[in-house]
Amino acid sequence: MCLMDSSWVIDGHDIATAFDLSRFKSIVDVGGCSGALARVMAKAYPASTLMVLDLPKVIQMTQKHFCQSDDTIKFQAGDFFEEDLPAADLYILARIIHDWKEEKSLMLLKKIHAACGGVLVVEAMLFENHRGPIMAQLFSLNMLVQTEGKEHPPSHYTHMLTTAGFTDVQVCRTGKTYDAVLALK
């Protein structure tokens, strides 16, 4: 968890400000783990409420070891495949899509499309020809070994998001390790 959190110390601000998200007053970080990215988002958008949804065991561990006395973010235990998502104006999916086979990712994106107005997908995105960046290639290798998924170029996320029903899809290459795609209905 600490290792994953450190990504958002380095890249969190670039992700939070890749788009102006101030119109979204309630934001849920789906599979948000210990809340590292949600805390960066809460700092960037102090008028918005931030909630992290993750599996019960992860939320338990987070509340024991990662919660801060001045935390403004809330945590909720749940399964994003099995249960309804908490209501929100915007959902964040950071390093979630790359874990799963396409049909599962699509199931989640369709659920999010039915529930809200927007989704921010955050991943280390490959070049369109898949020949870099080296970090995204290495992450993809790691995903192929450890999960059902892999890394993709922006066009793949755009295609999945439009298949799920989103119409307005914008990609932001941050120039750092992680990039963002904002999709609206």
Question: Which residues of the chain form contacts with ligand SAM (CB under 6 A)?
Answer: 4, 31-33, 36-37, 54-55, 58, 79-81, 94-96, 99
Both tokens of 42, joined, read: 């809460």
Asked if omega into 133 is within 30° of 0 (cis), the reply is: yes
By beta-carbon distance, which residue lies closest to ligand SAM? 31
Give the shortest CB-59-to-ligand SAM separation in angstroms.
9
Handedness of CA 46, 87, 31, 94 (dihedral sign): negative
Both tokens of 158, joined, read: 């755009």
Query: Judged by CB, which is closer to ligand SAM: 52, or 164?
Result: 52
User: Which residues are identified as catalytic?
Assistant: 98
Please give the C-alpha separations between residue 57 and each of 64, 122, 144, in angstroms, as whole numbers: 11, 23, 24
Give the shortest CB-92-to-ligand SAM separation in angstroms.
7
Give the shortest CB-9-to-ligand SAM separation in angstroms.
11
The label of the residue with tokens 């599996």 reads 55
Query: Judged by CB, which is closer to ligand SAM: 41, or 164?
Result: 41
